[in-house]
Structure 1
Amino acid sequence: MRNTARVRRTSIFFSFLALFFSTTVDIAAQTRDEMVREDRKKIMEEGFWIYNDLPKAFAKAKQSGKPLLVVLRCIPCHECVKLDDELVDQDPVIRPLLDKFVCARQVSTNGLDLEIFQYDTDQSFAVFILNADGTVYGRFGTRSHRTDWLGDVSLEGLAEALKGGLELHLNYPTNRKQVAGKRGGKPEVASPEKYPSLADKFTDRLNYTGDVAKSCIHCHQIGDAQRSYYWNSGKQIPEKVLFPYPHPKTLGLILDPKQRATVQSVLPESIAEQSGLRAGDIIQLIDGQNPLSIADVQWVLHQTPASGGNIPLSVKRGNHRISLELQLPPSWREHGDLSWRATSWAYRRMVTGGMKLVPIEAHKREQLNLGKKKMALLVQHLGQYNAHAAAKRAGLRKGDILVSYDDNADLTTESELFAHGLRHRKPGNRVSIIAIRGGKKMEFTIPIQP
């Protein structure tokens, strides 16, 4: 019986992931606009979720005394609609928990209060657990790869986060100081459409009488707009904007996606191991905050300076509670991988002229007599249009191997190259590139672009 339930929940989970990571839309029967309108009508008629109306959701939470659950997600396709029915109505653990919340589904970020809703915008979805006064109890939703999600989210993990949110709500406002750090500082703008790069294209709401899909500000567009806010004004992009929401595994800390913040394993010689963490440890407090999920751990890491520092931990190990410090060295944020993020395409436009770069295979490196710690980045993809075709216009080709960028031969990953270009160059500059083609070195020059 237990195995049957597990199989059933696994089946539901596969549908659950379709909501968050699918980008395929079947437009044969309906246009995207029609699907959005149909989804809105269906959900509003059912009445369980408050649909794209956060003021109403906050007011209802205040009136009822319940905590507020806000799910931010992309405008849905048909499969997403089916998923929501299964997630809410069929899962034996999730549905009873949802009944204890005021539940809101936000399918666009137009008009979103960025002082409250701060999260990794390169995700397809994010969950916020809140008090009606805007206090953040916790976040759920993590992503570290374009397609591989298994180590980041699970239905069991969502259930644990919801339970933790209910516990914090029960003790609020006595625990107000403990959860205060889960809200960030004042953002550059109050809401996404007020960023300069979005202001002329979007308003603070969806246009349901016109091109509704085109009127939506997607999550990743917030990140793009935030970086453009600095880049196009000639300012240095802050490190926390350049390397946002570091994943714990970049520190060698592998957390169990089915639990709140339980250490599944620790990589040898990693920052996590050097800080004293072990498999089986339960992180009960991180920087004084109760983590409800991997996303909550990411939130604390996101607030930690690139210069490093020590993050206090309270850990349950067996029957003992011990104090540790997560010791982050200078430049620790740079260990993160930027290449999977949706906004990496903006970086490619800015500093690579539209090239997608990947490290070459070890045997190829040996054939070319290139050292292990020297640049050897294969042009896997070459943009063909507009600003993304700058490298193509400069003469570069798919299959070329970059061995120097801006007179630097030590940039061994695409992320390192992004960081170098964005830190040391500005729009209008030009950088030199040396690439190997057919065994011969060739020189090129590409522009740094807005």
Structure 2
Amino acid sequence: MTLTKIISAIGNNSSIYPLLVRDCGIEVPAKIYLTHKQNKDDPEIDRLATRERFWDEYTTSAVWLGGIPLIDKISNKIIKKLGYNPKVNLKLFKEENGIQGINENLKRFAQIAEKNPKSKEIIEKALIDLKKAAGNKSGYEKMLAAKFVAATAIPIAFIGFILPKMIFASSANKIAQLKKEKEKQKRSQSTAFQGINNDTFSGMSLKKKKSLSFGGNFISNIANFSTLEKMETIDGGYAIGRVLTARKGADGNRNEAIDIGFKMAGMMYLNYVAPKQIEKLLNKATLKAFNLDVKLDPLMLEDKEFLKQIKEGRLELPKSSKPEVMLEYIDNNPKSLFVKYANKFEKITMLNEEVRDPRAYINMKKLAEFRNDIEAFAKKAIGTSSGAKMVDKFAKRAKVVKSVNILANVGLSSFLLAYCLPKAQFAFRKLVTGSDLEPGIVNAEQKKA
């Protein structure tokens, strides 16, 4: 894999790759180190807190990143055994006359099949899938809804409710073992330890000891969630689970729940919202500093054929961003560069090189934005360049700027997640509890004391 391909992958904020880099590569190791550093004043709590953080973060990451694809794969096999193809998008049941929908696609692709003998068989199989789903809309909706529930509820149950209980039980056993070992030592040592529990941790309660206290369109939306959207759902349920399973103190305080709630809210914002906001800010800064508004992927910017077509004035695009015009162009020009990259960047789905998938739903707004971005870049490249070499130079400059923006986005969002959020959490913890120590471990030791 080339450097450009790597940058392209991590620059797609609609995919899981940026999360993979931030979560496993940077955020998790940094959190484990900072947890150790924050609790270093108490060796026992340090060992337990760091151990908890290690198992929690890496187990959660494994379930979070691997659970959805695995459950989706199993669910898809079950749906296929029942005689349906899960590739049929439920949004097609909402007919968009002249554009897309079950009936519209059946009619349009029957005609396309007749014009494409080589692809006729594969098109007809896809149309059979459409007819089967249309013949049992209610049942098919329930299957895809069940698939969504399985792909999200199972990971939520495990990482939100079961995993913390397992980790807490393990820590409780470790604390009990430590206590037994200390009881075997001199009474003075035992008395000193009890004194620490009583004096140091008694101030950890909050001053105010208060406890924190499907329609058709909905199914259509959730059933066809992307992997990233399912991850967002899991994180929401995971956050609720962690708050509900947080350990209470001997005095009934909910310090760990408050601490976790702060962390999870920050994590969800920095994982799913901040990168897109940072991307917009970097694009604005680039436009102001270099007069470049680069929205195209680095892979396109280094494509020699793409640049050649711009230089020779023969770059073909749909004549407008109207849905019917774009679909007509795609169906009539399946081997064009526009279709090639629209498929690569998941704006459309192709059955093969000659025909798009009639079972797939196309987000016309995103497709129009993609078309307009290509057109804007081509006009800018020609307008600011005199000669073919200058177009290449402009594209190279645009690629460098875009790549720097992507790396800066990943670096900044990772820094916010891995360093700033834990530091903010520790400061918030100090404000709420009066201590730097991990509130869950403190609460567990209070109960065992």
User: Which bin holds the TM-score, normalised by the shorter protein?
Assistant: under 0.3
Highest RCO, 1 vs 2 (Cα 8 Å, sep ≥ 6): 2
Give the structure with the larger helix fraction.
Answer: 2
Give the structure with the larger strand fraction.
Answer: 1
> Structure 2-normalised TM-score?
0.21
Larger Rg: 2
